[in-house]
A and B are shown apart, each in its own frame.
Chain A
């Protein structure tokens, strides 16, 4: 194959080719693995090394996501454990501060502890649903969770060090390192206003237990209401700056077009801004995709969240979005946390039915049928859906 003039004609026939996928597979005469994705206990692995894995959505029937079921994402995998021991690990605070300092974990634990329950969500959650497809880990619905974090306020640490006049951004770096030193380090920054927000934490506990290695032990940043790439794990270095952090993971990755762009418009095509706040979203945890339900009443349940704004309502449609019914919001109602919801559905006929859900937050943001396409496939929040069979 070459880039011949046949290409455009070939793309015309692409759909037919897709229809012949079975033939293509047969021609390869190779065993077909049933699933390219391994169900590894409580998580579904997307990448085995460095380990990236998401939570099966059936687990989202609980308010808090246990550590062993929370999605795992990192660029390089965890640092060697000896770098994180009580003796070896320390947090340094430097840059535009009056008094650069360093902390042992014990010293951070002596600052006033704060507990915040918040959604942690990968910006790429739902990337697999963007069309045209985009490169990156093909997350589906489970790169998200709801966690009770405990830690010191980042603000208390920064004020202890004394901010200098032109401090505008706060940069984070963890102890994780790429295999090959020519790969850029994972360095992120957040604007000073978010860093000084009283809910922004340097967390050492999740759900009342010390952070496990995969989730950033001994210390990670938690920016409630913002996407997870700001929540740097294995934190070792805080640097106060006058500008955004440099480097690939701040200046190129984790950025979105400022205005919606057409997939064919070229890359990046418009000015790009860092991904920050979580957008309104809901998912159906039960029934599961492909389940057999009914014929009596069926409880549809799930969770809904929106970064810095409470959820106003969740609606359910069993006719492809023509009509919607309001679900009941249940359980705990906390800022930054997700909200559980339920809807009792009385199916009127048997056979296959697709159930959709969509959430609205108090600022009036509504989950769209399809999210705006962007080159990195971030922030998918299209209507969630499962297809079930109503039995007799």
Chain B
């Protein structure tokens, strides 16, 4: 190899490496920016039917993530077009074919997941608003607990004794129990208080 071709090879390598690092960095920034919202969606909308580990073990190109999210929406996943787009961008940035086999699990990030509707500047004790709770229940809980909280795959919650034990109710909703996923990353405390107020009214 001549001196000049060696120099050229080194230049190509350095430029290539810095480009790759920059791409990697951009990818990371994207993942970080989307993660709280996307992970909240996974917990709230995908884990109605399956645990998030089914998602995090995939390593797919964007077209297959698009197809998968479309299939799930078609099957009843409650995702608006905007939410589906956030999810696809996050999943294809983080769980792409070149991503390492071992990534930090979503569970480790749960505490970081952003509540979908974050109340701002909240002070004083939470007061649940039953009228608001009805909609939150329908969107997030009804798939398992049935219309009117009358039970389906999950237990009936209307008149369920757990409503009288608020600590146990909050513990279950925030951290999950048995087949029920943890909702602490998906619902704000206000959301949970609203659902609780609505359930008491049933």
Q: Does B100 contact A (CB under 8 A)?
A: yes
Chain B: interface size category: 35 or more
Of B20-28, B127-135, B165-173, B183-191, the one with at least 4 CB within 8 A of chain A: B20-28
Q: Are A183 and B68 in contact (CB under 8 A)?
A: no
Once bound together, how far apart are the Cα atoms of A179 and B45, in whole Å?
A: 12
Partner of A33, one of B54, B97, B105: B105
Interface residues of A in 1-41 (CB under 8 A from B): 1, 3, 6, 9-10, 13-18, 20-21, 23-25, 27-28, 30-36
Q: Does A137 contact B (CB under 8 A)?
A: yes
What B residues does A45 contact at CB under 8 A?
53
Partner of B75, one of A1, A10, A50, A184: A184
What B residues does A132 contact at CB under 8 A?
61, 97
The size of the chain A interface, using a CB distance under 8 A, is 46
Shortest CB-to-CB span from B16 to chain A, Å, is 6
Q: Tell me whether A13 and B20 are in contact in the complex, defined as CB-CB below 8 angstroms, given that A180-B143, A182-B76, A183-B75 are known contacts.
A: yes
Q: Does B32 contact A (CB under 8 A)?
A: yes
Kindly report which residue of chain A lies nearest to residue B99, judged by CB atoms.
A21
What B residues does A178 contact at CB under 8 A?
49
Q: Tell me whether A33 and B93 are in contact in the complex, defined as CB-CB below 8 angstroms, given that A20-B21, A27-B25, A180-B75 are known contacts.
A: no
Kindly report which residue of chain B lies nearest to residue A182, judged by CB atoms.
B76
Q: Does B64 contact A (CB under 8 A)?
A: yes
Q: Are A179 and B16 in contact (CB under 8 A)?
A: no
Q: Does B56 contact A (CB under 8 A)?
A: yes
The A interface, classified by DSSP as helix, strand, loop or mixed, is: loop
What B residues does A27 contact at CB under 8 A?
25, 28
Q: Does A58 contact B (CB under 8 A)?
A: no
Q: Are B53 and A183 in contact (CB under 8 A)?
A: no
What A residues does B153 contact at CB under 8 A?
177, 179
Partner of B98, one of A3, A14, A30, A182: A14
Q: Are A3 and B61 in contact (CB under 8 A)?
A: no
Kindly report which residue of chain B lies nearest to residue A21, judged by CB atoms.
B100
Q: Tell me whether A6 and B23 are in contact in the complex, defined as CB-CB below 8 angstroms, given that A133-B59, A135-B68 are known contacts.
A: yes
